[in-house]
């Protein structure tokens, strides 16, 4: 298992700045959505990994409450697909154990564990208290920084996001463009409902994250994740009490949110 430790933020030279290039990427994404619009998750995933229009694709997984469904699909389509797991150093111990067990059980052959290095963490968050004063900056430091570095060399990445998860995902397409980086994001499960995920996990006898049974239907970093009461939105326990739905590596209101930006 490879451990990538690359902490630097993207430089301006790595961002898409040419409008013609951006328009070409938008056209590629539109073509992909048109081509796979009436296909199921497996076909969308297979297309993402083989269609020249999609390019070189990795998967990004939190190994959270529902992650095992998409990880299983990836393992069936191509278990050599690079799977990027961000260890923020603030995760639940149960998540770390679950990640190792699921990767082994599914036979995933290229899991890459990403971390912001010690020196960068000490410089930007010496006391581990950044999450109390600026959750966006904390997410950027511990998630966006190592992920953006690890995605160098990839044209896009697979996510497990679904339309039902929050208001900002209600119109989620199978393929979307992260314009600041020029990468394509693939959402094979965009149209799945909660019952689809549960049925798939049951049918394939996939292991549940141990915290789900304890009242955590959506699982992130331990300090920013709380239990969800019956009847609450499944993501209500993420950043509870804060005006925040995403960790900064996803699209909010049609654009990517980075450190120092607002939603």
| Catalytic residue numbers, as ranges | 247
Instruction: Sort 83 into a burial class: Cβ within 10 Å, 0-12 / 13-18 / 19+.
Output: buried
Measured CA to CA, the distance from residue 40 to residue 55 in angstroms comes to 20
Tokens of 48: 């993402």
Find the distance separating the first CA and the last CA of the chain, reported in whole Å.
35
Measured CA to CA, the distance from residue 43 to residue 229 in angstroms comes to 36
Measured CA to CA, the distance from residue 206 to residue 203 in angstroms comes to 8
Cα torsion through 115, 121, 127, 132, rounded to 10: -70
Helix (H) or strand (E) run with residue 2 in it? strand 2-4
């Amino acid at each position: 298992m490879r451990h990538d430790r690359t902490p630097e933020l993207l430089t301006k030279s790595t961002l898409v700045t040419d409008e013609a290039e951006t328009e070409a990427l938008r056209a590629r994404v539109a073509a992909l959505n048109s081509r796979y619009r009436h296909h199921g998750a497996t076909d969308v995933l297979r297309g993402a990994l083989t269609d020249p229009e999609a390019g070189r694709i990795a998967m990004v997984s939190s190994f959270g409450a529902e992650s095992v469904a998409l990880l299983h699909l990836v393992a069936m389509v191509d278990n050599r697909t690079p799977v990027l797991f961000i260890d923020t150093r603030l995760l639940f111990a149960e998540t770390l154990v679950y990640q190792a067990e699921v990767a082994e059980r599914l036979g995933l052959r290229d899991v890459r564990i990403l971390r912001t290095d010690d020196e960068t963490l000490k410089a930007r968050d010496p006391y581990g208290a950044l999450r109390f004063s600026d959750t966006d900056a904390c997410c950027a430091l511990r998630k966006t920084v190592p992920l953006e570095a690890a995605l160098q060399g990839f044209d896009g990445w697979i996510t497990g996001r679904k339309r039902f998860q929050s208001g900002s995902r209600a119109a989620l397409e199978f393929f979307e463009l992260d314009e600041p980086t020029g990468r394509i994001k693939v959402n094979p499960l965009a149209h799945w409902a909660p019952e689809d995920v549960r049925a798939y996990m049951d049918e394939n006898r996939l292991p549940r994250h141990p915290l789900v049974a304890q009242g955590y239907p959506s699982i992130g970093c331990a300090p920013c994740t709380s239990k969800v009461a019956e009847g609450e939105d499944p993501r209500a326990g993420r950043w509870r009490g804060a005006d925040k739905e995403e960790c900064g590596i996803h699209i909010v209101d049609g654009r990517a949110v980075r450190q120092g930006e607002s939603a």
